Amino acid sequence: MTTYKAFRIRHDDGYRAGIEALSVPAPGAGKVLIRVAYSSVNYKDALAGTGQGKILATFPLVGGVDAAGIVDVSGDGRFTPGDPVLVTGYGLSFDHDGGYAEYLEVPGDWVVPMPPGLDPRNAMILGTAGFTTALAIHRMQVNDQRPDLGPVLVTGATGGVGAIAIDILRHLGYEPVAVSGKQELYGWLRELGAARILGRDELPGGKRPLEKALWGGALDTVGGEMLTRITRTIKPAGNIASIGLAGGSELNTTVMPFILRGASLLGINSVHVPHQLRTQLWTLLATDWRPPHLERILTSTIGLEGLPDVFGSMLAGQTHGRILVELDNS
């Protein structure tokens, strides 16, 4: 094969994206060529693929912040052809071609050997959403988050991060409380382990700098006013992991939760994570932190041609769980 299919994003004659044929590269020293089997769809991918968010630093670029597959050619002595591997974050779909392609060439330092217990398919059901969740829980636990501190709030609960967070938290002995405006998915959230479910308009918050302390911790994927409310209602020594901004990037709060309750606001950036910690977290996701309902969290599998429709649906709030992208490498 001398060419391969890729979902490429351009910004020359207007913003447009679609499937193109590209030449298969020959990796140089320190590079690895991966034959991609699976990728996934994240909110960031939808923003990049539609131009509704300023995600890409250069054009044209292949989209997709996730990839998993088999090493095809290696210019890095740590990897040999046939090795199952995965890549998430770094410069994928920012300033480097991403995983929406049959082949992906990346620096060897970006590549994570597939941990025992995972394969390319279930690794991409997890993808960036699962890795981000693991990073958030890790940082919370390093900061002494414990089940006995009380329930852990999970906002944007029907999204990829939210659903995986509920499943892992329940598995680890926490009491996850889901926040979602999608009542038709409440049963699904309970199946994943949500102890309680609150509608978006039911989330307590008030207007005072400190309100009744309710949450031992929180994973917030929404930001904006919802995150503001959480800061007012977090319990003493509780941790808030801030992951997303679908509800806005502004945060209007005071120092009161932090100096009077000792709460911590932890920013979660899963793009730039030291390789040792990245490998450690993927090993946990394959073993002790593996979500028990991983297949239930997967709600759709598409090919490259299905990406535009899924992007639109995701940005309109019409998707839930994880969406897998299967590459046809036959």
Tell me whether domains 3-114+293-326 and 128-267 share a fold. Answer: no
Enumerate the domain spans of the chain: 3-114+293-326, 128-267
| CATH code 3.30.210.10 for 128-267 | no
Contact 48, 57 (CB under 8 A): no
Residue 236: per-residue pLDDT: 98
pLDDT per residue as tens digits for the range 232-274 = 999 999 999 999 988 899 999 999 999 999 999 999 999 999 9
pTM of the model: 0.97
Q: What is the DSSP letter of 108?
A: G
Architecture of domain 3-114+293-326: Alpha-Beta Complex (3.90)
Residue 329: per-residue pLDDT: 65
pLDDT per residue as tens digits for the range 181-194 = 999 999 999 999 99
Gap between the Cα atoms of 245 and 248, Å rounded: 5
13 — pLDDT class (breaks 50, 70, 90): confident
Gap between the Cα atoms of 124 and 86, Å rounded: 8
SS3 231: helix
Cα–Cα distances (Å) from 66 to 62, 168, 182, 298, in that order, read 11, 20, 27, 15
Stated as kind and residue range, the H or E segment containing 163 is helix 160-171
> What ranges in the chain are assigned the alpha helix state H?
43-50, 120-142, 160-171, 186-192, 224-233, 256-259, 275-286, 294-297, 307-315
Q: What is the DSSP letter of 260?
A: T
Return the structure tokens found at 322.
């994880």
Instruction: Count how many residues are written for the chain.
Output: 330
